[in-house]
Structure 1
């Protein structure tokens, strides 16, 4: 799974902007004779419009090894690959506070001083956490799954990526490719339903040539007006190590963040 990409399932922003453009976007997506070029244009419009979000969420993890855990919390996105998750216990106390930015992370458990590092080199993080940390919360699995959710949960293309959309009988299919010189590497495939062009499934592949081994699968469901239509009420991430489920309770598409809200310092 990539560590530095912006999450894949993207956000549609709010009220006045949506009031002006949502109906036209839905009309375009609903057209039975929409061309691939029109669908690409729609994807680009949604990608441009959906930039930031702050949501009350209910998270649960189901690792293949270890106990399942559930937390209520706040999930936030901001342009520039910023993601933050704050998880609370039933008394409202912070259990985990995790910030991700590109290849870097900041994580704090139970209000302890935060630890920082590179996602690709965190071999000594367990020792820094101290004894008993894993008994409080399966922080290592949370860190891994939140990073996978970040890439798989929000379709914003990186500068070296492009998407090709094909029309099928039951779904539209988008193939996201990364361009390396003269080579195009398949990163993921997205299945869009035909009515309003909402993504329903995504497969993410290891970034390599050959048979493109599957890294994870993401399912999107419960699209409704409460989430401005194009944002799902539920996202499920399935990986080789286990599953992550996210239920969006309340979503704000025009949040005001403090200047240091995503700060890694």
Structure 2
């Protein structure tokens, strides 16, 4: 790192758990953020401020007036603009050193596979089970760590699936695809604005810890937040040896 980087990231470097080696790893990393909305906004902002070398921001939507209540990457001036273009400009304004790759599409198929294969780590900041499971399948295939978050109404959750580890569960172990899970959308049910910030920044914290190689990740642990009562609780879950997605991993 050069002198300017040493100064910019000095408060990280002062932490012995991160130090210069951990910050250097963060600066060299390539992170895929799937979704530039309520969760992706705070997550991407903190990844950029922390110096992640390359942030791939993927989202097929445009900025809508209803997004501005919580999606802090975007402003009144960017309503109608592609979220990834609006987001990339905000991230570059915060930290010009970060390379932002804007992908204006809902990732699927070969494009998703390629994006995951090229990444060091993936953040699932989307809002639907189909994309979550597709991202999980790609992360299992390429053994990439996945940090997943969700927020609706006053309820949030976050967990880490470190698919580099043979003993780590995947998203399918926790939420099997095809099960009758109710899919709620904030457009219908609403969402408390700061909740997306709390969950998104928690995702960023877990991602940075994984990149720097410090601390204990939320592997096999689902962190749940009731923001109305401001209570956290943790649910532990194991890897499913019969999982259709990751059951053969390490065999």
Greater helix share, 1 or 2?
2
TM over 0.5: no
TM-score (norm. length: structure 2)? 0.25
Q: Larger C-alpha radius of gyration, 1 or 2?
A: 1
Greater strand share, 1 or 2?
1
TM-score (norm. length: structure 1)? 0.24
Ranked by relative contact order (alpha carbons within 8 Å, sequence separation 6 or more), the top structure is: 1
